[in-house]
Amino acid sequence: MINSLKQLRNTAASTGFQSSLWGDIRIADSCNGCGACAEACPTAAIVITKQDDLCSISLDTSRCTQCGLCQDVCCCESIKMFSTVDLDAMLAQIPQVLIIKKQKDIDNLLEPLEQRMSRLLGYVIKN
């Protein structure tokens, strides 16, 4: 299959390849870096790397199956899924960095668990 895709890459535009087998995602700046998307991904297509004061989220498009779980669990609605893929990126089989954030920015975006549950479930916590 990989060889067929390589041949296709030579005859078609490598970007914007319409696929029902693989997917691509984009992550908005509203991402809080919680990691729920990576934990929900059944194929480990989403990888979170923390190094020094930086956190990066990457996607290996060759592993993404468009299941949509990452988009469903994103509490910030920061993930958008696309059925068009970049053949070069997919054939490279190397995760492409989608977003890089500083840890202090992530800490500022993360809301306390009680507040998050209240927002998601639609109830008010009384102290």
Would residue 127 count as lying in a domain?
no
Tokens in use for 65?
Answer: 């199956």
68 contacts 35 by C-beta, under 8 angstroms: no
> What confidence score (pLDDT) does residue 17 get?
66
Does an H or E element contain 89, and which?
Answer: helix 87-92
Would residue 126 count as lying in a domain?
no
Check residue 95 and report its DSSP letter.
P
CA-CA distance, 90 to 99, in Å (whole number)? 18
Q: Report whether pLDDT(26) > 90.
A: yes
Considering its fold, how many domains does the chain have in total?
1
Would residue 62 count as lying in a domain?
yes
Would residue 39 count as lying in a domain?
yes
Would residue 100 count as lying in a domain?
yes
Name the strands in the sheet holding 54-59, side by side, starting at the edge strand that comes first in the sequence: 46-51, 54-59, 96-102
80 contacts 51 by C-beta, under 8 angstroms: no
Q: What is the pLDDT of residues 36-54, one digit of tens each?
A: 999 999 999 999 998 888 9
Output the domain CATH number for residue 113.
3.30.70.20
Name the pLDDT band for 87 (thresholds 50, 70, 90). confident
Would residue 114 count as lying in a domain?
yes
Global pTM value: 0.69
Which range marks the domain in which residue 86 is found?
A: 2-121
Name the pLDDT band for 79 (thresholds 50, 70, 90). very high
